[in-house]
Structure formats: structure tokens, C-alpha cells
């Protein structure tokens, strides 16, 4: 919360399909717990993947009320909206109530996240297959990448002198390493579109990003 700044009151820009190259948008309607009979207010979180500072902006009824770099927890009626990203998209966009229960915000129509969610609703079996393949690809990439990374680290002079060297039992040709990186990036994008993230499964996405 320390990174949160006051919004400037500007209106929320309409979302267009081509905005997917640098932007995403999520929505939620909330009623103030202190006024349960009141009208629900629409909150929107606009995330810009291109910028680092003030990458996320919170809108209340289409007016900007706060902005911040990521990760961030925006205070809202009844709790906070937690936003966090990865190298390939979002890993968290959840409304966390004061009692600890959580609810994922809904992606704006036309965003890649909304299109992926729509695919999951219309073709649940295909969706599960795609998700499973993404996990398998990332685990294979992790198993093949870590030994090669350890070998490179052991080649550092200080590490070689104090720890020793390590020779990876895996030596992949350049074309296969390239294909592995490409498959890993696609798998990481799939995981980001569904806001799934696991400390082990997605560990190698940082290596692929580097």
C-alpha cells in the first residue's frame, strides 16, 4: 500500500481489442458493507504492462481514484483488491474481503483473459487439456533448464574456486533449446491468462524471461 498514489480523477478509457498488446482491464461491483442497502459501485483495475511506475490504476464508477506500481493492494469497501504480475501477464487480480474470503475480478469483455475464460466455459474439456499441457511443458522446461543453468553458474571463477564445477548431463542442441523456450513462453502466457501461478511449476518462467 505504500506505493499507492491518489488518482487524478480522469475517466477510464474504453477498452479496444488492440489494447491487448499493452493493457488489460478487470471489473467488480461492490456494495459498501456499512451501507448494505446502497447501490453497488463498479470498480475497475486497469493494468499497463509497458510501464513500471503506476502500472495499475483503480477506477470507481469510471473515475480514477488511485494508482500504483505492482504488486499492490488497493483498499476498497469491505476489503482490498490485490494485483500482482509476472513476466507474462497477471498472477493475481483478487478481491480479498475483511474475513479473508477471496473473489477473482472478472476480465473486461474482449481482453485475452476474458476470451480464455470464455473458451473454458464453452469447451471445459479442451480447456483442461490446454491447462494440463501448459503445466507439463513448464515442468519439462524446468527439468531441462536447471542443470544447464547450474553448469553456467559453476563456470563463474569464484564459484569454481570455492564450490567446484558442474557438468550438466543434458546438452541440448541450439534448435531444441530455442523450441523449448518458445513452448515455455506459450505455456507461461496460458498460465497468465488464467491467473494461475505456482512457486515450482512457474519457477522457470523467470529463467525463460531472462
DSSP class of residue 70 equals S
pLDDT in tens, 100-157: 999 999 999 999 999 999 999 999 999 999 999 999 999 998 888 888 788 888 888 8
pLDDT in tens, 61-109: 999 999 999 999 999 999 999 999 988 899 999 999 999 999 999 999 9
- Alpha carbon 7 to chain centroid, angstroms: 23
pLDDT in tens, 82-91: 999 988 899 9
The C-alpha cell that represents 199 in the structure block:
512457486
- pLDDT classification of 209: cutoffs 50, 70, 90: very low
> Contact at 8 Å (CB) between 166 and 149?
no
135: helix, strand or coil:
helix
Q: pLDDT over 70 for what percent of the chain?
A: 96
What predicted TM-score, i.e. pTM, was given to this entire model?
0.85
pLDDT at 204: 61
pLDDT at 35: 81
**Cβ neighbours of residue 121 under 8 Å, at least 6 residues apart?**
none
- pLDDT classification of 206: cutoffs 50, 70, 90: low
Angstrom distance (rounded) from CA 166 to CA 78: 53
Instruction: Say which residue the cell 467488480 belongs to.
Output: 28
72: helix, strand or coil:
strand
- 4 exposure class (CB count in 10 Å sphere: 0-12, 13-18, 19+): middle
| Residues 168-179: b if buried by 16+ CB within 10 A, e if exposed | beeeeeeeeeee
- pLDDT classification of 210: cutoffs 50, 70, 90: very low
- Of 24 and 177, more confident: 24
Angstrom distance (rounded) from CA 45 to CA 80: 12
Q: What is the dihedral of CA 31, 36, 38, 39, to 10 degrees?
A: 40
- pLDDT classification of 4: cutoffs 50, 70, 90: very high
Amino acid at each position: 500500500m505504500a506505493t499507492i498514489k491518489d488518482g487524478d480523477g480522469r475517466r477510464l478509457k474504453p477498452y479496444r481489442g488492440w489494447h491487448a498488446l499493452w493493457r488489460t482491464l478487470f471489473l467488480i461491483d461492490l456494495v459498501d458493507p456499512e451501507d448494505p442497502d446502497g447501490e453497488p459501485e463498479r470498480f475497475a483495475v486497469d493494468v499497463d504492462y509497458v510501464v513500471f511506475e503506476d502500472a495499475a490504476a483503480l477506477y470507481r464508477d469510471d473515475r480514477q481514484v488511485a494508482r500504483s506500481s505492482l504488486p499492490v493492494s488497493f483498499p476498497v469497501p469491505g476489503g482490498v483488491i490485490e494485483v500482482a504480475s509476472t513476466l507474462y501477464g497477471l498472477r493475481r487480480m483478487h478481491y480479498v474481503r475483511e474475513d479473508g474470503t477471496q473473489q477473482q475480478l472478472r476480465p473486461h469483455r474482449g481482453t485475452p483473459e476474458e476470451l480464455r475464460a470464455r473458451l473454458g466455459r464453452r469447451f471445459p474439456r479442451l480447456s483442461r487439456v490446454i491447462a494440463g499441457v501448459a503445466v507439463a511443458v513448464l515442468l519439462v522446461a524446468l527439468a531441462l533448464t536447471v542443470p544447464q543453468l547450474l553448469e553456467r553458474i559453476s563456470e563463474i571463477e569464484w564459484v569454481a574456486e570455492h564450490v567446484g564445477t558442474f557438468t550438466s548431463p543434458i546438452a541440448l542442441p541450439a534448435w531444441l533449446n530455442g523450441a523449448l523456450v518458445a513452448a515455455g513462453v506459450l505455456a507461461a502466457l496460458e498460465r497468465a491468462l488464467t491467473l494461475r501461478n505456482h512457486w515450482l511449476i512457474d519457477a522457470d518462467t523467470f529463467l525463460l524471461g531472462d
